[in-house]
Amino acid sequence: MNNKEIILDALIMTILLIFIVFPIGGLILWSFTQKWMWPSPFPQALGLKYWNLAAQVSLLEALWTGLKVAVIVTIATLIVSIPISYLLARFKFPFKAIILVLFLLPQAFPQLPVYANTAVFLYKLNLGGRIEGVILIQMVGALIYSVWTLTAVFQTIPTSLEEAAVNLGSTYTKAFFHITFPLSVPGIIASSILVFLWSLDEFTGTLLIGSPFVKTLSTFMYQAAQGYELQVASVTAIILMIPGILLLTLLEKHLKSEYLSKFGGI
């Protein structure tokens, strides 16, 4: 190993320590800390006190609510985005590029004003403080990930397969459900994971439209941090990271390189 490789390895390890190991290690340490007084560099008392608080009804309710919302958002988003993505991938029509870009607009601007304006509209529909309102406002962001991902997925599936099926007497609908849809399942799974993780971690819209009646883990963690309950916030953050780590591992198996090559194509 030459000097350049040693320096590069050292640089990579330093970056990993600064941006991954230290932050996660700090969360884990704080979650077990029962007493940590300045100027001591280490906690004076460790224990499971704040992990035991994870069994309290408030945190468990927030976890259950977040999981329930994430599942519903994922299913609803797929129902809406699959036909839209298929049309964008398969057919040529006026302003197609503009339509695809429109799904990026909520992310092209700061999230707070976008969600604030959406929240005003949902409150007028009497959806404020209700789980239905949280689901709808989360779908504003979830559709971005789903439509762009699935459009790339459908573009990787050759149209010749559908055309061959139609030439043999099938309809386009049957060709879709018997050929295109089965081939797109890995991409749909990848899109579902992205949307689920987005929903589980989403904070701004959930706080604006759901507070104070709909509380997920992300808003629970925010409120704990606001109250300087760093141990509770750390425990909540670790619990929130677990499904993310597991699902990202699963995502790696289903997010194919050809999807990425078509991402953003029209």
Predicted confidence at residue 227, as pLDDT, reads: 63
Looking at the fold, whether 82 and 181 belong to one and the same domain comes out as yes
**Contact assessment for residue 137 and residue 115, using Cβ atoms and an 8 Å cutoff:** yes
Predicted confidence at residue 108, as pLDDT, reads: 62
Residue whose C-alpha is closest to residue 231's, from 95, 50, 20, 47:
50
Looking at the fold, whether 100 and 220 belong to one and the same domain comes out as yes
**Contact assessment for residue 266 and residue 88, using Cβ atoms and an 8 Å cutoff:** yes
pLDDT band for 1, please (50, 70, 90 cuts): low
Looking at the fold, whether 76 and 145 belong to one and the same domain comes out as yes
Q: In 103-132, which positions are buried (b, 16+ CB within 10 angstroms) versus exposed (e)?
A: beebeeeebeebbeebbeebeeeebbebbe
Predicted confidence at residue 10, as pLDDT, reads: 73
Contacts with 217 (C-beta within 8 Å, 6 or more apart), sequence order: 59, 62, 63, 66, 200, 236, 239, 240
pLDDT in tens, 77-113: 999 999 988 988 887 777 766 776 676 666 666 777 7
Looking at the fold, whether 65 and 33 belong to one and the same domain comes out as no
Predicted confidence at residue 51, as pLDDT, reads: 80
Looking at the fold, whether 89 and 11 belong to one and the same domain comes out as no
**Domain range enclosing 3:** 1-47
The CATH number of the domain holding residue 103 is 1.10.3720.10
Instruction: Provide the percentage of residues in the chain whose pLDDT is more than 90.
Output: 11
Rounded mean pLDDT, 251-263 = 56
- Give yes or no for residue 258 having a pLDDT over 60: no
User: Which range has the top average pLDDT, 23-37, 200-214, 251-265?
Assistant: 200-214
Looking at the fold, whether 31 and 161 belong to one and the same domain comes out as no
Predicted confidence at residue 87, as pLDDT, reads: 87
Looking at the fold, whether 244 and 189 belong to one and the same domain comes out as yes
Residue whose C-alpha is closest to residue 180's, from 195, 166, 201, 200:
166
User: Which range has the top average pLDDT, 82-96, 140-154, 224-238?
Assistant: 140-154
pLDDT in tens, 125-136: 888 889 999 999
**Contact assessment for residue 236 and residue 126, using Cβ atoms and an 8 Å cutoff:** no
- Give yes or no for residue 266 having a pLDDT over 80: no
- Tell me how many domains the chain contains: 2
Looking at the fold, whether 127 and 215 belong to one and the same domain comes out as yes
Looking at the fold, whether 150 and 23 belong to one and the same domain comes out as no
Q: Is the dihedral of CA 113, 116, 120, 122 positive or negative?
A: positive
Averaged pLDDT score across all residues of the chain: 81
Predicted confidence at residue 236, as pLDDT, reads: 82
Distances (CA, A) of 92 to 82, 87, 96, 97, 156: 17, 8, 7, 10, 16
Looking at the fold, whether 72 and 32 belong to one and the same domain comes out as no
Whole-number Å distance between alpha carbons of 205 and 114: 9
- Give yes or no for residue 197 having a pLDDT over 80: yes
Looking at the fold, whether 67 and 148 belong to one and the same domain comes out as yes
Predicted confidence at residue 43, as pLDDT, reads: 83
Structure-token pair, residue 125? 């529909």
* Amino acid found at 46: L
Predicted confidence at residue 260, as pLDDT, reads: 47
Predicted confidence at residue 261, as pLDDT, reads: 45
pLDDT in tens, 52-74: 877 676 788 888 899 999 999 99
Predicted confidence at residue 69, as pLDDT, reads: 95
Looking at the fold, whether 208 and 94 belong to one and the same domain comes out as yes
Contacts with 116 (C-beta within 8 Å, 6 or more apart), sequence order: 208
Contacts with 136 (C-beta within 8 Å, 6 or more apart), sequence order: 122, 127
β-partners of residue 33 are 46
